[in-house]
Structures are given as C-alpha cells and as structure tokens.
Amino acid sequence: MTDSNARTLEGLTYFQRTFGCQMNENDAERVAGLLDMAGCLPVSTLEEADIAIYLTCCVREAADIRLMGQVASMKNIPPAHKGLPRIVAVGGCIGQRDGARLQETLPNVDIVFGTHNIGHLPSLIQQRISSGMAVAETLESSEEFVKGLPERRATSWHAWVPIMTGCNNFCTYCIVPYVRGRETSRPLEDIENELDHLAAEGVQEVTLLGQNVNSYGRDLYGRPRFKEVLDYAGSCGIPRIRFVTSHPKDLSTETIAAMAAHEAIMPQLHLPLQSGSDRILAEMHRVYTVEKYLETVHMLREAIPDISLSTDIIVGFPGETEEDFQGTLKVVREVGYGQAFTFIYSKREGTPAAEIVDTTPAEVIQDRFDRLVELVQESVHRENEKELNKTLPVLVEGVSKRDAHMFSGKSPKNQTVHAPIPAGLTMDDLVGTIQNVRIDVTKTWYLQGTLVE
C-alpha cells in the first residue's frame, strides 16, 4: 500500500494536528509512521514544517469551524524553508466527506485525502510537489481492513489496536457511517499477531478500537466474536486492556463474562446513553429503551461490582422536551457515571435528523446542557470519592501539568492520578511503569496520592 516514490520526500519536515476520536489518533500514528519511513522529519510547530497535516473530525460542527479557522489563518505563516511553499494536507473525516469541494472553501489546501487511503499520503504529497497542482483523492471504502501500514506510536507504553472500522447503525444524528463506511472487521489472526508483538515489546496498555467493537467479526468468515478478541487480549501478557466503543444494544452476556474473567481487562466501560427518553432514543434509532440500558448496567455491575461506567450524552436532539431531558437526568442519577462526555446536538447535513424542524430556542438547550454538566460533575466527584484511602495501580504517563514535582497517570478506572515524584526517582524511572499510589485527595477532575511500595 505504501509508495516507493515516497523516498524523494527525504528531509522534508512535517507537523500534524489531530481532531476528534481515538480512531484519528491512531490514524495520526500511521501517518507519522509512513512519513518517517519516507525520510520526513517530525517537528513540533507549524512554523518549522514544510508539510502541515490535519486529521479531522466531522461529528459536530465545532470541529469543522476549528479546521476552517486554523487552515485559513495559516496563509500568514511564512514557509519553514525559503522557496519551499508549505504543503497543507487535510485528511480524516472532513476530507472524506468533502473531497475536492474542500479546496473551493479553503483554496490553500493542497491535498485532500480520506479515511480509506491514508497509505497513499506520501504519493499524494509527491504528486503535489511534481505537478504543482492541488490533489484530492478519497476512496469509497477500503476493500479490506487497512493493515500493514507502519506506525510510530505516540508513547512506548500505550498502543491503539484497531479491530474494526465503520458503522452500520445509522443513528439518525450521526455522520460517521457516511464517512467511515460500513463495518469492516480485522481478521482475528492479525489482531492476535499485533497483540503478541506489543506484549513482547513491553507495552503496558492496549486500547482496542472500533466504532462498535461489540459487532466485531459479523462480516468475517467463521464470524469470530468480540469475546474471542477479549479472551486473547486478556491473556496475552499485556497488563492493561481497554476498548471503545460499545453500542449498548450489542453488549452481550459473553462479552461481560470475558471482561469479568480477565484481570487485565480494566474495570471500566464506555457505554453511550445519548438520551434517557425512550421517545428520543427511538427517534435517534438507538434500538434500546432506558429499561434495557439499565438492565445492561445491572448485568455489568453484577458481574464486575466495582466497574466504572462512562458515557456520551446528546442534549437538544430535535424535538427534545423538558420531560425528555428529565429522563436523561434521571438515568445519570441512577447509573452514577465515573465520566461523561456531554454534547449539544449539532445538525449534520445528510443525516435524517437534519430534516427534523426544531423550534426549541438555543438558550433552552444551553440551560439543559448546563444542568446536565453540573449533575455529571457531582456524579464523577462521588465516584472519585469512593477511591479515598485505597491503593491503586497507576500507569505513569508523565510529569503533572499542574505541578512539576508530581507525576500523573491513570488508575484502572481511567481516573487521572497525581502524586509527588519521590526523592531518588526521576521521571525516566517512572514513565510507562505501573506504580502503587495511595489516594489521599479526591476531586472531580483528579485523584491525588502518595507512591507506596
């Protein structure tokens, strides 16, 4: 899939900016791997870059606006090297959605690529340089799971492992199935091989990735199941396994049993609720009711009593009433989420929900959103308080951004934990290792503690 022409890119510097979900972060690691292989050099500022690459998200309008603003303002930044105009490449979901149309809105974009042709980026850059013309290439779908692309991981201790891409669910507000295409699973053997390599390299944590990991394998011969991926991942020697995202309608009892069976599978699950109103859930085409969702939560807590749940919630879906919204608040109170991502509904052209006329004033939606955020914060704080005085294994990620004398890392439930760097130890000793931390302070956004033996 990679291109031998790419060698002529040798010595060019590149800068990447990534918006959106973990899928994009993983794509960014692949772009970095490809460009490194072509002899390009990563730089940490746009000013130093001969090539600027944007991996974009189009799930909500805010990401579109951010991209447009950043790319448009780049015209004023002088090239990194005299006589070598900066090449601007936009890929990912916005690239896939808009194709060449993007260059009409943003004339300084030289290259548009999509979600299915990351492997072609070096040759697209090459083409741009030799022809001097703008290039746009998007593919309808990848015939098989994009594999075999080199990648340069952002850290040595964590790896993303994509297991499937695309989505067949067509929630009525969501653009993802249109830009990421239909569900395509990666062969089980490929996943197992990658996990074995990562275990041998000493990677401490793997996040299995897919828009809907629970429907893994339905498109493959022999129909391997997500449970099999979990069983392998949970026993391959990597200490921590996480996965995103699970659609509540597809979370099976065997998946829950596999989560409970392996210590390496972290006691944390992202289970997007979206709304706590059956009427809105039906309009969203989510295919579950509040009762069914709560049953799943109950099953999870029976099997893994200490599990921490996180979620996504949309406020202001067209036609949402105060009563519908009260339903959402009720579920948030009942579940007790450890983390929640809250979004104001964003109209996406081409989705069925974009056709629904809504007259709810923006202030009403903002007020609901503010009330939800407040309730979520109370819930997160309450969940964090449960960790007080416990000793938690923390995967150390780096120096704390709040205090250079502290390190930061993640607990099994994915909470941020800060602790002082003990005398005699350096960050080099700590980063990428799992350390026991006794929790002394619990806040909404973090836990704080002391390293113990």
Residue 223 CB, nearest approach to ligand 5AD (Å):
26
Q: Could you tell me if 445 and 300 are in contact, meaning their C-beta atoms sit under 8 angstroms apart?
A: no
CA atoms within 13 A on the CB side of 75: 8
- From ligand SF4, ligand 5AD, none, interface partner of 23 (C-beta below 5 to 8 A by class): none
Our CB check for ligand SF4 shows the closer of 60 and 158 to be 60
Residue 288 CB, nearest approach to ligand 5AD (Å):
14
Our CB check for ligand 5AD shows the closer of 49 and 332 to be 332
Residue 35 CB, nearest approach to ligand SF4 (Å):
28
**Tokens describing residue 239:** 């200490």
- From ligand SF4, ligand 5AD, none, interface partner of 314 (C-beta below 5 to 8 A by class): ligand 5AD
Pairwise CA distance, residues 169 & 285, whole Å:
8
Residue 345 CB, nearest approach to ligand 5AD (Å):
5
Pairwise CA distance, residues 335 & 341, whole Å:
14
- From ligand 5AD, ligand SF4, none, interface partner of 170 (C-beta below 5 to 8 A by class): ligand SF4
Residue 174 CB, nearest approach to ligand SF4 (Å):
3
* Sign of the CA dihedral running 251, 254, 260, 261: negative
| Residues binding ligand 5AD (CB under 6 A) | 59-60, 173-174, 272, 274, 312, 314, 343, 345-346, 348
- From ligand 5AD, ligand SF4, none, interface partner of 396 (C-beta below 5 to 8 A by class): none
| Residues binding ligand SF4 (CB under 6 A) | 167, 169-171, 174, 176-177, 211-212, 247
**Tokens describing residue 255:** 């998946």
Helix, coil or strand: residue 87:
strand
The label of the residue with tokens 């299915």 reads 116
The number of residues making up the chain comes to 453
- From ligand SF4, ligand 5AD, none, interface partner of 177 (C-beta below 5 to 8 A by class): ligand SF4
Cβ neighbours of residue 66 closer than 8 Å, sequence gap 6 or more: 19
Pairwise CA distance, residues 75 & 453, whole Å:
54
Residue 37 CB, nearest approach to ligand 5AD (Å):
31
Our CB check for ligand SF4 shows the closer of 344 and 364 to be 344
Our CB check for ligand SF4 shows the closer of 168 and 433 to be 168
- Tell me the sheet residues that pair with 265: 241
**Tokens describing residue 278:** 């059956």
Amino acid letter, residue 342? T
- From ligand SF4, ligand 5AD, none, interface partner of 34 (C-beta below 5 to 8 A by class): none
Helix, coil or strand: residue 307:
coil
